[in-house]
Amino acid sequence: MADFNTSIKEQGDVSIINLKGYLDAHTAPMLENNFVNLISKNKFKIVVDFKELAYISSAGLGVFMAYVEEIRQNKGDIKLSGMSEKVYNIFDLLGFPLLYEIFNSEEEAIKKFSEK
CA distance 104 to 50: 10
**What are the structural domain ranges in the chain?**
4-114
Each residue's pLDDT tens digit, 38-75: 999 999 999 999 999 999 999 999 999 999 999 999 99
Nearest to 103 by CA among 116, 115, 88, 114: 88
* CATH topology for the 4-114 domain: Transcription Regulator spoIIAA (3.30.750)
The letter for the amino acid at 37 is: N
pTM for the model: 0.95
